[in-house]
Amino acid sequence: MNLTRALDAQGWMTEEELTYLATAASKSSVIVEVGAYKGRSTLAMAQNTNGIVYAVDHWQGSPEHQSELSNYPAGWLFDEFTTNMEGITNVHPISRSSLQTAAWFKATGKTADFIFIDGSHDFESVKSDIEAWAPMLSENGILAGHDFGDGWPDVEKAVKMLVPNYRIIPNTSIWSTESV
């Protein structure tokens, strides 16, 4: 398992969370990450799969990041992501909204083996992301997300409402539909 570059990139994923992402990615050919920020989690998945990682983000930051990002010029966040992805050839950044990209997946008949949701953390956004992406999951695929019970009550509320068989990955704030 290769986490060296992921651990060097700025972000909020713990080493245990990155390990889970790397393990799930190693079993997947098509991965969708909703909310890539600077690419810490993207690197964990990309370096541990032979498949493709679609990194879906508008790279303008979620509401909780606006005060931090206001100190930087437009495009700075995407530039940080791109710098972190240098030399990684299996990441396809998609600079559109999650819902636009899910509609494109649906229209083109694409599915994903692993879908990881970590975009905006308000209830409506999490709910919309789950509703839009769950139908794009391949048979026996994994739908998961970040920040369950980690100070984000809206994430927990949406997951409990829409993902009846979720489980929490031990020592993380990741929820997942993957069976043990």
Domain ranges of the chain: 4-173
The pLDDT score that the predictor gives to residue 180 is 38
121 within 8 A of 86, measured Cβ to Cβ:
no
Task: Please state the separation of Cα 169 from the chain's center in Å.
Answer: 15
The pLDDT score that the predictor gives to residue 62 is 74
Helix-strand-coil percent breakdown of the chain, rounded to 5? 40, 20, 40
- CA 167/CA 39 separation, integer angstroms: 25
The pLDDT score that the predictor gives to residue 108 is 97
Q: Which fold has domain 4-173?
A: Rossmann fold (3.40.50)
What does pTM read for this prediction?
0.95
CA distances from 111 to 10, 17, 117, 150, 163 (A): 29, 24, 15, 29, 18
Task: Please state the separation of Cα 176 from the chain's center in Å.
Answer: 12
CA distances from 174 to 38, 105, 141, 146, 156 (A): 19, 24, 16, 5, 10
10-residue averages of pLDDT along the chain (180 residues): 95 96 97 97 98 94 71 84 97 97 97 96 97 96 93 96 95 84
Q: Burial letters for 155-168: b for 16+ Cβ neighbours within 10 Å, e otherwise?
A: bbebbeeebeebee
92: number of Cβ within 10 Å: 12
| DSSP 8-state assignment for residue 9 | S
The pLDDT score that the predictor gives to residue 2 is 95
3-state SS assignment for residue 16: helix
Which residue is it, tokens 């020592």?
171
